[in-house]
Structure formats: C-alpha cells, structure tokens
Amino acid sequence: MKKSIQLFFAILVLLTISASAQTKRGPSVEEMRTTPQEADARLGWWREARFGMFVHWGVYSDLSGTWNGVKYGGYGEHIQRMAKIPIPVYRSQVAANFNPTKFDAEAWIKLAKKAGVGYFIITAKHHDGFAMFNSAVSDFNIVKATRFGRDPMTELSAACKKYGIKFGFYYSHAFDWGEENAPGNDWDYNNPGGDKLLSTFNWWQKDTVFLRKAQKYVDEKSIPQIVELIKNYDPDIMWFDTPHKLPDSENCRIMAAARKAKPSMIINGRLVYSIGDYQNTNDCPFDFYPVAGDWEGVPTTNNSYGYNKNDMNFKPYGHFICLLAKAVARGGNILMNMGPKGDGEVDVNDVRIFESIGKWMEKYGESIKGCGRTPLQVQVWGESTLKGKTLYLHVFEWPSDGKLTVGGVKGKVKSAYLLSNRNQQLKTSYKGVDLTIQVPKVAPDTVNSVVAIEFADVPTGDAYRLLSPTISQNLLRSLDAEVFGGVKWASGQKNDNYVRNWTKQEGAICWKIRVAKTCNFQLLVNYDAPAGNKKRFVDGDAGKEIQKENKGSGGSYKVIIGRDNFVQNVKVGKNQQDDLGVVTLKPGNYDLWIKTVEIIGDELFRCQNLVLKPIK
C-alpha cells in the first residue's frame, strides 16, 4: 500500500512537471486588464482623432489577387493561403521580386493629411510572416529579401511626424504562414492554426506539440519583432489580430512585453479578447451595434484589405462619411483601410475616396474630431455627435419643407447654425422635448449636412425615439434595439446586420418609440431565416473555420405595441419580409416588442429591422 502511494505521488509530480513545461507562466488575463485610468492616459489623442487610415501593403500586393492565372476574390493579403503557394515559391518568386519603385511615403501621408485623419497604421507583418521593415530578428524582410532594399517604415514614420499624424503598426502576432517553426501553415508544414482546426475552440490545449511550437514562435519571433518595432520606430499604437490563434497565456506574454517596451503606447483589442485599451468591432462594417466604452470600426474602400485588382466594388465616399458620423455618435472611431498596389502606387479609386472625404472634413471636421456619444436616440434624418455643450446634427436626409425636428432633446438653446455658414443664425422652437429648426429648403451638402446647436449647458436626451408621420418609412434597426433572453447583436457587416442567437423562449428585442400625433403605420418585419446545414468548413478571415451542424430557423413570433398584438410564422430564406398589417398609434410613448411564440428550429430567426411606414 505504501509503495502504491509513493508511486502515485511520483507520477503526480512527473505530470505536474510535464504540465509546467508545456505552459510558460506569464501574466493572467486579469493581470493584463487595462484600468479606466490607464486607458484615459493613453487614449487622449485617439479620442480626439476619431478617424484613422489603415494600410494593408506587402509582397502579396504584387499578386493583386491572382496566382498562375487563377483569380481569387476576398482579401488580397490572403492570396498565399487561398492559392496554397508553397513557401519556397512564395519566397523566391513573390518576395524576391518585390520592388515598389513608385512608393512615396510623403505622398501617402499627404493623402492621409488631406483626408483629415489623425492616425496612420501600416502592416509591419501580416500572416505571410514577411516583415515590411528592416528586421534583425528575421531575414525574411523587405530590406534583405527583396529587390527594393529599403525600409519603408522608416520613411512613413518620418512623414507622419512631419505632418503631425500619429503612427502605428499592424502586427500579426499569432501565426505565420512563412515560417516552418511557426503555427499556422497547413500546406507545407502541416501545422495547426491555419486552415486545419479541430472541432473544439480550445483545440490548442489538446495539442502539446503545437503549444510548444507556439511558445517557441512567441519567444523567438513575435516578442523580439514587436520589441524591435517599438524600439526602432517609436510607434504610438500597435494593432494586433487573430487572438484565437494562440492560447491566452501566450497572448498575455506578448502584451506584457509590449507594455514593458512602451507603457504609453496604445494596444488595440485583438491581442487578448477585451483586454486592450479599446475594442475592435468586425471587419467591413456597414452598421454598428452598441458597444460600451472606447471602440473602433475597420471598414475598407472595397471588399479587400490588401490590393486585389479583381475587386472593383469600391463604395461611394458618402458611405464612409455617414459611417464615420454613425461611429462617433456611438462613441467610436473609424480606422479606414486602403490597399496600395505592389509598385507602391495608390489606386485612383482610393485616392478619389479619401480626397472626397477630406473635402467634407475640411468643412465639417469639427463635428467629428474630439466629439463623442450623442445623448439622443437615433433620428429619422440621421445621427448626432456631441462636443462639450455643442450638439452636431448629421443630416443624411434633408427636410424638403425646411423644418428639421430634433426628437427628444432637452436643454436651453443659445444658438443654431449651419457649419457651412455659421454666420447665419437659424430659428428654433420647442414643442415638449422636440426641437424644430428652420433650415434652408436646399441641403448644403449632398451626403451629410451638419447643423450645430449650442446649448447653455450639456444637453440631455429622452429615452424614447420620435417617429415621423411624414417620412417615407421609420426604420428601426435591430442593432439599435435592446436584446433579451440570450439574443445578441451580429457584426453589422453588409450581410450580417441582424440579431442572432434567438434560441430561447424568453428571447426578445425591444425599441422605445414615441409619436407626437395620431398616425396609421404599415408594419413590416425584415429578417433572415437560414435553412439547416451539416457540419462543414467555411472561409473565415484567417483560414478555415468550422460551421457546426444545425437545424436552421423556424417557428413563430409576435409583435407587441400598445394593445396591438401581431402573430406571424417564420418563412425560411434570406431577406424575408412579413407585412403584419396596419397599426394606429396615438400620441405617447410605446415599448415595441418582438417576442417568441414558438421555436421549432435551432433558432427562431435573425431579425434585421422593423419598419413603420406612415399611411397618409
């Protein structure tokens, strides 16, 4: 019995030693959590800027989305992964021939300055493992492994200082397609972390070989290169990506090293989930869900971040101006991306978009820079931002009758004027908590005209959103609704602008609305209701991700407003619309609910919005 106990404890000691060898002790997530005081000390200039320029540029830019005659859509910076280009070929035929003779750091930063951005972030290393700077840690870099032989980061850093723009780096810290000893490459080295994911989220915990490899990569490349970037270029911000590709223990070790190298430097929220100085929302946002605290949206001019000549889906500049106003109204920033060509030239479409934004910012920039969350509900005509005691109205839909009504604003008005003509005072009048401003019948700007209202004190807002009886439709977005019973907001991307996870009977969403006079409304509900699917791999933003098997959507829901109750069965398919009939609303406040009646699938549906169309 005594020998058995001794043997048991000996095995236990060996297992403990083995476990400790597998995981290096680093700071915990809680130990690395940023306090509000620390965030305030770092984020002052970032909150003032509100608008940044993101640049994805690397040796992949030369390929512009095509390899061996095959054209690839999606992110141009992922061409190596999508085409499964062998590492020796990528090094000898792609990196070695990279020679951006048209690169002009000053021209890039002048474009950023003209656009009105306050900070500039450039890819120092993306997932292909190639360093776009002169790295002593790895010879796989732009100075030693290309025909170019120059360090563009030195030139960009100097140009940013010259023109008064904050400078920073994107650094892919978690995996590396280009290194044999790094996690993340599946086609040459059979490493997990890229396309070959196991079924559990914490798959790396079950693979001690990968964990040791990840630790070696973090010790020998990630941390040394990050420290190198901080020491040699003195960045104001470091922007990390794909934290799910490493265990939190390794991500925290990287954060600790970066914090030690420069405590005042801002770190974004994609190094360790929710632990940075601010949060990042999803890529390519078209809309935003509510986010507490500081956050940043990351749109791109077309649908790719790196240059991809196969993608000519450039969005109009007005889309980004309105998106910027939406972000600031909700307390966030926009870091807007462009992907220069492999020769260093900026695509004419990107130049046009940023220059057009710059012309708008020249007139209306004070309604963005240094502004923050609005106290108001979403308005039928657009958004609003706040700076001190001044409320800026971003009017996307100008009132043709010359009467701009601001719903639910409380405060004594000192003056109101157009930012495009601040010498002309506008007449204002209150009716309850609704303020009407007499404005010209013709909008000063075709995209976003800004009216400034100066108050005697900081204005406040009413909790209920005013509906219009004259506008073509009152659009209540699900991303602006309150959510209950496990329902969650989706990403806000073009095809992901709904609420999800509607899996429980108690699931519900609610909008607080108000009407000032009796009106009849046609009631419409728009949603996606995906059919069921089998377990399969799908393309994620950094490789294959597992989509689990599910039964899809199905069931019935009810819309409740006042004493009216509308019940409807869910129709399976994308972009479904249910016409629930007509509701008459008398003056007053209402809680407008969508609630569950029955769920017969894995989820009820994915509600995009509810529309109230005035019937005249």
Burial of 535 (0-12, 13-18, 19+ CB in 10 A): exposed
8 A C-beta contact, residue 465 and residue 409 = no
Domain housing 125 = 33-192+205-367
End position of a domain, from candidates 308, 336, 367: 367
List per-block mean pLDDT (blocks of 10 residues) for the chain, which spans 616 residues.
Answer: 48 43 71 91 98 98 97 95 95 97 98 98 97 98 97 98 98 91 82 54 58 90 98 98 90 96 97 90 93 96 97 97 98 98 98 98 98 97 98 97 96 97 95 97 97 98 96 96 98 94 98 97 97 71 66 96 96 97 97 98 97 94
Radius of gyration, CA atoms only, the chain: 27
427 and 450 part of one domain = yes
Render 395-446 in DSSP notation, one character per residue.
ESS--TTSEEEETTEES-EEEEEETTEEEEEPPEEEETTEEEEE--SS-SSS
Confidence (pLDDT) at 196: 54
The closest alpha carbon to 542, from 223, 187, 184, 171, belongs to: 184
Strand, coil or helix: 238? strand
445 and 523 part of one domain = no
Strand partners for 593: 510, 560
Confidence (pLDDT) at 541: 61
| Rounded CA separation 565/571 (Å) | 19
455 and 482 part of one domain = no
| Rounded CA separation 67/130 (Å) | 18
399 and 322 part of one domain = no
> Residue 307 sits in a domain of what CATH number?
3.20.20.80
| Residue 537 within a domain | yes
- Backbone CA torsion sign across 517, 523, 524, 525: positive
DSSP 159: H
Confidence (pLDDT) at 11: 44
235 and 360 part of one domain = yes
Confidence (pLDDT) at 537: 62
How much is the pTM?
A: 0.92
Domain count across the chain: 3
End position of a domain, from candidates 414, 429, 462: 462
> Which residues does 381 contact at the CB level (< 8 Å), separation at least 6?
393, 395, 396, 397, 398, 399, 404
214 and 166 part of one domain = yes
User: Taking the CB of residue 149, how many other CB atoms lie within 10 A of it?
Assistant: 11
